[in-house]
Amino acid sequence: MSDDLYQRAILQRAKGPAKRLDSPSASVTVDNPLCGDRVTLDIKLENGAIAAVGHLVRGCALCQASAAVIAATLPGHAPAAADAGREALDSVLMGGIAQAPWQELAIFAPVQRHRSRQDCVRLPFDALAQALAQAKT
Amino acid sequence: MGFDATALRAEFPLLARGGLHYLDSGATSQLPQAVLDAVMAFESTSRANVLRSVHRLAEAATEAYEGARSDVARYLNVASDEIVFTSGTTAAINVVARSFGDMLQPGDEVVVSQIEHHANFVPWQMLRDRRGIVLKALPLTADGRLDLAALGRVVTPRCKLIALTHASNVTGAVTDVASVVSAARAVGAKVLLDGAQRVPHGPLDLAALGVDFYAFSGHKMFAPTGIGVLWARKALLEAMPPLLGGGEMIRTVTLERTIWADVPHKFEAGTPPIAQAVGLGAAVRWLSALDWPAVSAHEMRLTQRLLDGIGQIGGARIVGPAGLQGRIPVVSFDLEGAHPHDICQILDGFDVALRGGHHCAQPLMDYLGLAGTTRASLALYNNDADIDALLKGLDSAAAKLR
């Protein structure tokens, strides 16, 4: 039952390189109080769009993969795409589909059956929302 | 008396049905049939409120509740009027931090350690912020034990209380209580032990330990959730103000004032967790009947197997004492390149229940430089098949995650 969480797509994303940004528009660190996992997310805004996302995760494979999907998906999109990403994730975690450009979030479909692990996937999106709020101020 | 590990495991219905390697007893232990029967018998034959009504059912309930108090007192070798029932260890320590804590003056010192569970850390930080006391933390040694050599430096004449774990919920290290008591006595300080992890591993003689407060939970020692114990010396309980006001903790109430009930009822406001207390009483009676040298030898043999097996996994490192000396059967480890929650999730696929994370001990994790550890916590019902399943699953998790 647990093995489906650790399919190749998630592990590849989790093991992929994580990179911080040198001069981000905003940078936030959030903790998961349950497990102590920590996500640092950087965003760089240019001309009203997200130019780059950096991330560093001290956390589990699910959390690492989620941050990596954000970093791979978001650049080139307007900040509103972050909200769409959160909605797409919620949809996937409730058995639905993820709309473009967030189709890759479908790799987290098995997490639907592991309630205690859903926050692991959500934590990078929490960080993203906070980073965008910080960038606006 | 003898000891039959297979027969003992069979007394636990949840484990007897098979298919589970439960190695998370440090979080919550399973219940033996004797405890389940006691709770069911109480609820179906004696359920009533305690210390109130005079009808026969109420008498039976009060007798069962106070009988449980006597059973617990016998298990700890103390007087039963020094046993305060609480909801658990956290509540027990909070009672001391609020009540004994309110008797402290600004500048008085409380000493904890960096290995403490948050339950024995946060209440003292709250007391510090409320009363202006000074909170100090004993450092740790390289192998994850309390650095008792630092006691002489940390414990000053302003110290009023040393509050430490009796056995770590992360490293399994057992505290050398005699050194702590000696350091406390030298300056007139009291000693509190968080015994949550120690109590499931054999009877205690609190009188011989020489401490002043002892806190533990029922659910970690084969009893129901929602019941725990604060033991304190009677003179201390009598001097301490009650924490909660209400029914059952009073002798007389007038419009002008209230006179408290005698201890321990002064600290048990409201209807207590009666069936849970009855379950705790049954648990300590059940524990008292065991052949403890044999049980301990069984637990330690499995612990040694675990330590050896983890040691053979590449990139794995035991967090805490490497040997059996001065430890309970709680083993934490770090597997390089693999997160504890991922390990636990994969092990769940092998029907092995483990705990991963910071174990409510974030100051310890900061010291170790880790986000968390993976922990196998054993109890008397574990067997070789549990260890085999864990080690097999760990091999698989290591291969998958790294």
The predicted structure's pLDDT at residue A3: 52
A61:B356 CB<8 A: no
The predicted structure's pLDDT at residue A53: 97
Instruction: Tell me: pLDDT of A1 over 50.
Output: no
CA–CA gap between residue B278 and residue B148 (Å, rounded): 38
Nearest CA in chain B to A111: B345
Of B341, B346, B401, the CB nearest to A35: B341
The predicted structure's pLDDT at residue B52: 83
CA–CA gap between residue B299 and residue B289 (Å, rounded): 17
Residues 30-59 of A with CB under 8 A from B: 34-38, 58-59
Q: Which of B102, B360, B84 is nearest to B213 (CA)?
A: B84
A2:B341 CB<8 A: no
CA–CA gap between residue B303 and residue B292 (Å, rounded): 16
Question: Can you list the domains of chain A with their CATH numbers?
Answer: 8-136 (3.90.1010.10)
Give me B19's structure tokens. Answer: 């298919």
The predicted structure's pLDDT at residue B1: 61
The predicted structure's pLDDT at residue B275: 98
Instruction: Tell me: pLDDT of A2 over 50.
Output: no
B345:A38 CB<8 A: no
Catalytic hit among B360, B370, B371, B401: B360
3-state secondary structure of B318: strand
CA–CA gap between residue B207 and residue B3 (Å, rounded): 28
Angle at B344 between CA B381 and CA B396, to 5 degrees: 100
The predicted structure's pLDDT at residue A32: 87
A34:B365 CB<8 A: no
Q: What percent of chain A has pLDDT over 90?
A: 82
Nearest CA in chain B to A64: B339
CA–CA gap between residue A34 and residue A59 (Å, rounded): 12
- Based on the residue annotation, tell me whether B159 is a catalytic residue of this protein: no
Q: Which residue has the tokens 């330690």?
A: B300
Q: Which residues of chain B have pLDDT under 50?
A: none
Nearest CA in chain B to A58: B371
Give the closest-approach CA distance of B362 to chain A in angstroms. 8
A1:B339 CB<8 A: no
CA–CA gap between residue A4 and residue B323 (Å, rounded): 36
Question: How would you label B88-127 residue by residue, b for 16+ Cβ within 10 Å and e otherwise?
Answer: bbbbbbbbbbbbbbeebeeebbbbbbbbbbebbbbbbeeb
pLDDT (mean) for A32-40: 86
CA–CA gap between residue B19 and residue B28 (Å, rounded): 18
Q: Taking CB atoms and an 8 Å cutoff, what residues of chain A touch B347? A: 2
